[in-house]
Amino acid sequence: MSNNIHLKKGLDIPMKGIAAQKVVKTVVPDTVALKPTDFKGLVPRLLVKEGDRVLAGSPVLADKQNPDILFTSPVSGTVAQVVRGDKRKLLAVLVKADAEQEYVDFGPKDPASLSGDDVRELLLKSGLWPSLIQRPYGVAANPELRPKAIFISSFSSAPLAADTDFTLGDKAQDIQAGILALGKLTDGGVHLCINEAVEAKTPFAKMDGAVIHPVSGPHPAGNVGVQISHIAPIMKGDTVWTVSPLLAAAIGHVVRTGKLDLRRKVAVTGPAAVEPAYVEALPGTPVAELTRVAEGVRVIGGDVLTGTVLGPEGYLGFFDDQLTLLREGTEREWFGWAKPFRPKVHSSSWCYFSWLTPKKQYDMDTNLHGGPRAFVETKCFEDVTPMDIFPIYLIKACLAGDIEKMEKFGIYEVLPEDLALCDYVDPSKNDIQAIIADGIDLMIKEMA
Amino acid sequence: MADQNKPGLFEKGGKLYWLHSTIDAFDTFLRVPGTVTSRGAHVRDGIDLKRVMIMVVIALVPAALFGMYNVGYQTALATGASWGFWKMFFYGLLKVLPLYIVSYIVGLAIEFADAQIKGEEVNEGYLVSGFLIPLIVPVDVPLWMLALAVAFAVIFGKCVFGGTGMNIWNPALLARAFLFFSYPSSMSGSEVWVHIPKNMTAVDSFTGATPLAIAHDGMGALSAQYSFMDLFYGLIPGSVGETCVIAILLGALILVWTGVASWKIMVSSVAGGLLVGWLGNLGGATELPALYQLVMGGFLFGTVFMATDPVTSAQTECGKWIYGFLVGALAVTVRLWNPGYAEGMMLAILLMNTFAPLIDHCVVSAKISARNKKVKTA
């Protein structure tokens, strides 16, 4: 049976600023931040105080509900500051890095000889457990469960996303070890989706211990949620886990060498990026050390559809291997909607003439290009959602907070990122991802 | 203009705050708002509802221009006057323009007031409804009636539901239905379709009846006056914009090309109309070949511009086929078997608007149960 998945629906957003395939600098940060806000569904408890010494791999935070889930420092150094926000919400723990890095030694192991319990314990201790995302709802994995299967998408199809063949090409051994170790956590096996276009040369195609699924099509073909829905749709009562290839490599590394190494190649991208290329850095590195940020530019951790605003003062997130820099689009264009041609604005709709220049890359900004309205055109959602769900019905069920309908229309299968393109194409300018996120929060609350 | 008014005066607490929706509407009409994304995707497509709506208006322009010419042409024909092309066109323009002015002034005034009361932005949906309404009424409709109908359609068809996107029935058709049922003598019969100026009299052979009305007397009566190609070109009495098949097809091309309207609804509606027309012809309900049903009256205009309204039509792709087919089939059914109404398109679309959510519900339920079965067996 062929495992290939061919998707037709979707949209590749033609944006300027793809990262050149070279590492322009290796950042050795002075201070890194550990941000509990990166993790959905976890409530942090502080394990250190200012002035404490930590090693790379020492626990800094634990989850309140499940104290076994630890968050560890990516560097060795001294806890410099605990940053709190409103109502004393814990925002970040800043660690001042040592000049010489020391690592906690978890002991090198052979992934094939480990049991499921060994793997679980190692991941919990090393702070890599939170890299496992549990679906439905996209929360941190519950260590007590055994998921139906584990899914890894080896590539991202999001706009300007980091090219995993470039960023992880030299980490094939780590990834292999990671896949073997993760396979111990489930009875359903590990499913690895690869980009069909590069099937012949990508190291991911040669991994053992995983079912390989070549995937082709426009974005969101690289989204693991979309892939799952074509491999084994998540129904009520199912639990599956996903992990990014970046963190699968980190998991493999800690298994093989016993050291926590979160160092990664980060793609600095976007129309407002001064020099779109890769930098090597740790999560928690200050944005200012990664790239220069001009006035009036939004810095996004992740891609332009699903990323979070970091701001020029922010820190790279735990999951991020991409920064996107975009101009804030506060300029007001005269007669924008009425002009026959708007060469600077991209539209996937044939009401404009972007289809005349299919190869053009656009210098996009954050302008909404319109005012919020009630839903009118809804076919556009289906055209960018290659899943067996009814997007508009799911969206309306979420708006209405109708649990039964949300279940029926596929809330278990989606995360906001899977419907991110709906945000982009909607002429009524609704924030679909926010609606879905609110719906998922309601599900978590009601089904708990 | 709008910019000078911005600070203070129209903001919350300002003296003219009660006008802020109006000012905002004109301001964003002239310039794209400077709003940036806050939640969700950080970049957005250039498309907005203003652009979508203006595409429909552009698609309607050929039908409107032809309608104006035809108004003059029909008057000239009826009175025996020998006018040139431009005279006919400008005569029609002068007759149709007041309809537009009334439609837009009354409709937009209510829309603006409604937005103001709700504290929302003015919705651009009426750009299309306002352009449609003059095209689906007889040219001689009294302006005060039109004003009443527009007010009814906007208030009870749209505002009470929450505005464009929430309405159940096509507002333009609702205006026509209001006229049709409240003032039937001004909306049907043989006197209303062609304007005869007071200082002129009709020639003896003039009847003023639309082909649809004539067709009730059989094929012989119809072909005595109009050939198939006459009906196709559209120099016939009827509502202002509905007569010319070529102009409507031009509009259909624009709508389908831009993706604003669903080709599935258009195709299935035509199929439904043809099927019932063929069955009726076969069964002896009419002497007319099925193809005539497409070129007479408002069938094609309704199919292209009104049945396809994305808000009031079915929203699932499978539902669109069913919905469109039933619109076409019902329209011709009413034509053939209900002698009371010469034209069935308006009622067919309004009825199917009502049932569109039901169709969608059935389609979605069927698909979900099929999917559950598939997953269980897999």
CA distance A366 to B42: 6
Contact A161, A276 (CB under 8 A): no
Question: What does chain A come to in residues?
Answer: 448
Q: Is the pLDDT of residue A142 over 90?
A: yes
- Percent of chain B past pLDDT 90, that is, above it, reads 64
Cβ within 8 Å, pair A371-B121: yes
Q: Which residues of B touch A335 (CB under 8 A)?
A: 30-31
User: At residue A184, does pLDDT exceed 90?
Assistant: yes
Q: How far is the alpha carbon of B158 from chain A, nearest alpha carbon, in Å?
A: 12
pTM as predicted? 0.91
Which of A77-91, A98-112, A314-328, B199-213 bottoms out in mean pLDDT, i.e. has the lowest?
A: B199-213
pLDDT level of residue B8 (50, 70, 90 thresholds): low
Interface test with A, best of B42, B159, B321 (most A CBs within 10 A): B42
Chain Cα centroid distance, residue A193: 16
Tell me the pLDDT band of B7, cut-offs 50, 70 and 90: low
Among candidates B37, B311, B317 on the partner chain, residue whose Cβ is nearest the Cβ of A376? B311
CB contact under 8 A, A374 and B164: yes
Query: Of A159, A300, A429, which is closest to B44 when you measure between CB atoms?
Result: A429
Query: Cα separation of A150 and A269, whole Å?
Result: 30
pLDDT value at A1 more than 50: no
Residue with tokens 């067919």: B348
Contacts of A148 in chain B (CB under 8 A): none
- By the CB < 8 Å criterion, does A426 face chain B? yes
B41 to A316, B44, B194: CA distances (angstroms): 19, 7, 54
pLDDT of residue B1: 43
Structural contact between residues B87 and B72, judged by C-beta atoms closer than 8 angstroms: yes
Task: Report the pLDDT averaged over residues A154-171.
Answer: 95
| Gap between the Cα atoms of A423 and A232, Å rounded | 26
- Please give the C-alpha separations between residue A425 and each of A153, A350, A386, B163, B374, in angstroms, as whole numbers: 24, 12, 14, 21, 31
pLDDT digits (tens, 9 = 90+) for A240-276: 999 999 999 999 999 999 999 999 999 999 999 999 9
- Torsion sign, CA atoms A124, A129, A130, A135: negative
Residues of B with CB below 8 A from A365's CB?
36, 43
B213 contacts: CB under 8 Å, gap ≥ 6: B190, B342
Residues 6+ apart with CB under 8 A from A8: A217, A386
Place of tokens 């519900």: B361
What's A15's DSSP letter?
B
pLDDT of residue A434: 95
Contact list in A for residue B375 (CB cut-off 8 A) is 233, 235
Amino acid, res. A212: I
Report CA-CA distances (Å) from A11 to A218, A222, A349, A358.
Answer: 5, 12, 11, 12
Nearest by Cα to B71 from B228, B192, B221: B192
For the beta sheet containing A297-301, the strands, ordered from the edge strand earlier in sequence to the opposite edge, are A20-26, A277-281, A264-269, A322-327, A297-301, A308-309
pLDDT band at B376, cuts 50/70/90? low
Nearest CA distance, A309 vs chain B (angstrom): 9
Contact present, A304 and A62 (Cβ < 8 Å)? no
Tokens describing residue B34: 């400077």
Other residues' Cβ atoms within 10 Å of the Cβ of residue A391:
25
Residue of A nearest to B52 (CA): A351
**What pairing do the DSSP bridges indicate for beta strands A277-281 and A20-26?**
parallel
Percentage of chain B lying above the pLDDT 70 cut = 95
- Mean pLDDT value of segment A395-415: 93
pLDDT of residue B13: 67
Q: Can you spell out the DSSP letters for A127-172? A: T-GGG-EEETTTEE--TT---S-EEEE----STT---HHHHSGGGH
Nearest to A435 by CA among A395, A402, A405, A404: A395
Which residues of chain B make contact with A378, given a CB cutoff of 8 A?
310, 315
Q: What is residue A174's predicted lDDT score, i.e. its pLDDT?
A: 95
A391: which chain B residues are within 8 Å (Cβ-Cβ)?
none
For chain B, the structural domain boundaries read 13-27+49-202+211-240, 261-373
Beta carbons of A379 and B262 less than 8 angstroms apart: yes
Confidence of residue B375 (pLDDT cuts 50, 70, 90): low
Report how far residue B220's alpha carbon sits from residue B240's, in angstroms, rounded to the nearest whole number. 26
Contacts of residue A27, defined as CB under 8 A and 6 or more positions apart, other chains included, come to: A279, A280, A281, A282, A285, A289, A290
Nearest to B121 by CA among B21, B193, B267, B202: B21
Neighbours of A69 (CB within 10 A): 24
pLDDT at B117: 87
**Minimum mean pLDDT among A35-44, B67-76, B183-192, B222-231: which range?**
B183-192
pLDDT for the residue numbered B191: 80
Helix, strand, coil: what percent of chain B each, to 5?
Answer: 65, 0, 35
Q: Could you give the CA distance from residue B129 to residue B328 in angstroms, rounded to a whole number?
A: 21
CA distance B108 to A147: 57
3-state DSSP assignment of residue A26: strand
Helices (H), B32-80: 49-79
